[in-house]
Structure 1
Amino acid sequence: MKTSLFLALMMTFGLSAQKTLQLETNQKSPKASLSKLSWLAGHWKGEAFGGITEEMWSPPMGGSMMFVFKLVNEGAVTFYEAGHIQQVDGTLILQLKHFHGNLKGWETKDETIDFKLVKIEEDRAYFEGFTLEKTNANEIKMYVLIGDEKKKEEVTFIYERVGTMVSSMN
């Protein structure tokens, strides 16, 4: 009985973070192109943290795809994120900064939160602790490890497409 309970708990624990990956020690990010993530461009809305979430992603241009995120609780902005996925040295990196609702930054002026690319597939991009997944043309999911070094929790964001963002430059 104790063995069965232990195995069930271990399987549950293992499932809790199965959508996000980490690079192995000394492993380098693979070669990748932003064109593999063009499906991400658009205007997306969802629900998380007891509120409404919104993300807007630009199409690939100039070696990056920029985005903004907003969380609204009880009619007020809780926080924003701004960032990009940038093509650097033949691979991709996701970088972001957080802001309070009044645009006061969480991180210091020159600090970013960086997520290195682990692997990329047709409808999925795995960055360290941050996975982007296209489930269909009008839905995406993001899996993000949130917390400190002592305890991290994988949070799932589900977004529905509100509109597209089309680049006027090719």
Structure 2
Amino acid sequence: MKKLSILILLFISTAIYAQKEQVLEPKLENIAWISGNWKGEAFGGLTEENWSEPSGDSMMATFKLIVNNKVTFYEIEIIREVNNTLILQIKHFNNDLKGWEAKDETVDFPLKEITANKVAFEGMVFEKINANEMNVFVDLQQENGTVETVKFNYKK
């Protein structure tokens, strides 16, 4: 009976461990699924995000929000390999390309974790639904100090 109990516990712990997604190395090749031309809706308009394939130790993207057939703002985004980890950096621009951040400043999101279907940065998470769909969750600081998470559902 004792051997049977040990076998059952071993089976259960193995099954639980197998269900937990494996954490991957912080390498661009492990998040290459983000690359592509993605379109969705958010902030009362249409969004478009275009991610390059990994090259030169980075991936880059452009983002735009269109509301009432007018561009509201743009972003340039990069994910870089730095010191054996990844960092997501963003610069924002008005529709006339006047920057929001100071010349030498970026909005930075350090890497938390990568799995086969998710890359989590502090404040932004990319989640692969399938080869042609992903969700991006962005934490936005509100004027009252609270944080609101906005979901972008993108399709290729």
Q: TM-score range by the shorter chain?
A: 0.7 to 0.9
Q: 3-state SS of the aligned residue for 2:109?
A: strand
Q: 3-state SS of the aligned residue for 2:99?
A: coil
Q: 3-state SS of the aligned residue for 1:78?
A: strand
TM-score scaled by length of structure 2: 0.82
Match of 1:12 in 2: none
Match of 1:147 in 2: 141
Q: What is the alpha-carbon distance in structure 1 between the residues aligned to residue 155 and residue 127 of structure 2?
A: 12
CA offsets, 1:24-49, max 9 Å, x none? xxxxxx95100001101100000000
Q: Read off the aligned partner of 1:94 and give its amino acid letter.
A: L
- Structure 1 residues 40 and 152 mapped into 2: Cα distance closer, same or farther (>3 Å)? same
Tell me whether 1:159 sits opposite 2:142 in the alignment: no
TM-score scaled by length of structure 1: 0.75
Match of 2:110 in 1: 116
Match of 2:77 in 1: 83
Instruction: Assess if the C-alpha contact under 8 Å between 2:92 and 2:101 holds in 1.
Output: yes
Q: Read off the aligned partner of 1:117 and give its amino acid letter.
A: L
Q: What is the alpha-carbon distance in structure 2 between the residues aligned to residue 39 and residue 99 of structure 1?
A: 26
CA offsets, 1:121-151, max 9 Å, x none? 0010010010001100110100000024811
Instruction: Assess if the C-alpha contact under 8 Å between 2:25 and 2:114 holds in 1.
Output: no
Match of 1:20 in 2: none
CA offsets, 1:53-82, max 9 Å, x none? 000000000000000000000010000000
Q: Read off the aligned partner of 2:71 and give its amino acid letter.
A: V
Which structure is higher in RCO with an 8 Å CA cutoff and minimum separation 6? 1
Q: CA deviation at 1:83?
A: 1.5
Unaligned runs of 5+ in 2: 1-23
Equivalences, count: 132
Q: Read off the aligned partner of 1:151 and give its amino acid letter.
A: T
Q: 1:45 aligns with which of 39, 43, 50?
A: 39
Match of 1:17 in 2: none
Unaligned runs of 5+ in 1: 1-29, 162-170
Match of 2:12 in 1: none
Instruction: Assess if the C-alpha contact under 8 Å between 2:142 and 2:148 holds in 1.
Output: no
Identity %, equivalent residues: 51
Match of 1:103 in 2: 97
**TM-align CA RMSD:** 1.3
Q: Read off the aligned partner of 2:44 and give its amino acid letter.
A: G
